[in-house]
Amino acid sequence: MAEHARALSTVEGYRGYGAEQGNKALRKAIAETFYKDVQVKDAEIFISDGSQCDIARLQVAIEISSFSKFAGFTGVRLVINDFNRVVCTCFNGASNIAQAGGLACLSSEGFMAVHSMVKYYMENAKLLLDTLAFIGPKAYGGENAPYVWVHFPGSKSWDLFDEILDKTNIITVPGSGFGPRGEEFLRISAFGHRNYPGSFKEA
């Protein structure tokens, strides 16, 4: 992504806005990687930046897939959507830089790296679940996504958040932020490195 961003700052590398539907090479890679068994064509795929806009409020707009969890695109918006004809009239397309990153994730090397990264974080989730089982609180999740929900009956999730942050300098996510049923829970992320001081394993 950095290389693509640098290229955009040169006369030779500047391409202006990408196609509203998304980079053709990226749409082709998405079709071949995720939809080859169901015969979805690249022309049927639309790339969105995932930002909130009026089009996202349409009852018929369905988010089919996202790179946020698959490839760790935190803060970089790239979503695959299937409402091309409607949105092209009011959207200039996802950024060229985000699309270059998405294309890199779908290359052979990138795809293997993403799966290796997912495996690493799922091992972290297992370590977290095992540790929580040893120390006592009931934990859920961590098997299909690198997040673990920990239940603290009778506690307020923001109070738990503050206490853990004050005592350990570890940031969790208060469950109440996910709705009323999240009260008494904390969500703990398994993203992090294991093997250096101040790391996930030490925490």
Check pLDDT > 70 for residue 17. no
Number of domains in the chain: 2
Determine, yes or no, domain membership for 197.
no
pLDDT digits (tens, 9 = 90+) for 21-77: 677 788 888 888 877 787 777 777 766 655 444 444 444 444 445 566 566 655 555
What's the CATH number where 137 sits? 3.90.1150.10
Looking at the structure, tell me whether residues 27 and 63 fall in a common domain: yes
Domain boundary pick from 77, 106, 135: 106
Nearest to 174 by CA among 157, 155, 154, 156: 157
Residue range 138-167: mean pLDDT, rounded? 94
Looking at the structure, tell me whether residues 128 and 88 fall in a common domain: no
DSSP character at residue 58: -
Domain boundary pick from 52, 82, 106: 106
- What's the pLDDT at 153? 96
Host domain of residue 184: 118-189
Instruction: Quickly count: other Cβ atoms within 10 Å of residue 39's Cβ.
Output: 8
Count of positions (residues) in the chain: 203
For the question of whether the overall pTM of this predicted structure is more than 0.75, the answer is: no
DSSP character at residue 59: T
Looking at the structure, tell me whether residues 101 and 15 fall in a common domain: yes
